[in-house]
Chain A
């Protein structure tokens, strides 16, 4: 069963707009991982968050983990067509188990 809820399921934004994707767990997480998948390809690692309140940025993508370590957000500033794809969050629940993934958020960026 899926233990990570992602929202929204899909998102269409105009190029240049900002957007946020959320990932929520009912349980405290040991680690939270964000991946991006382009259609027909494998997953590419974006960022990993472990500490409550932690925030990381890479280029125009910022990921945050809340203090309770149950919710993470991925924010993209000034979206570009290259940002299009499926974003998945993966969680490490105990520090000793494989990652569990959310169902993903499909992002489309239109000109």
Chain B
């Protein structure tokens, strides 16, 4: 069974940093690209970042470019999102998701981890 378990969320002050993790199991993690998608409270879905299976290709949404860094450790079957210079508008549930064919759409999603940016 495919499982994605996101962790690392919490309350953080504006300007501070936070690192999210996503632990994968039930599939060959190293063969799949991955995405982070977020959802602000009561709002819609916003794609945040993409990383290819080998980490050779990485994309970011303009809203996080230069502040967030996506990475992965295939040996540990883990995906990460380093979030720096956090802003109030980064408050959201952050989902990690498996990319079906390294194309941008997601066939499995984690349960999400809530990041709250507030002073």
Q: Do A and B share a complex?
A: no
Q: List residues of A whose CB falls within 8 A of some B CB.
A: none
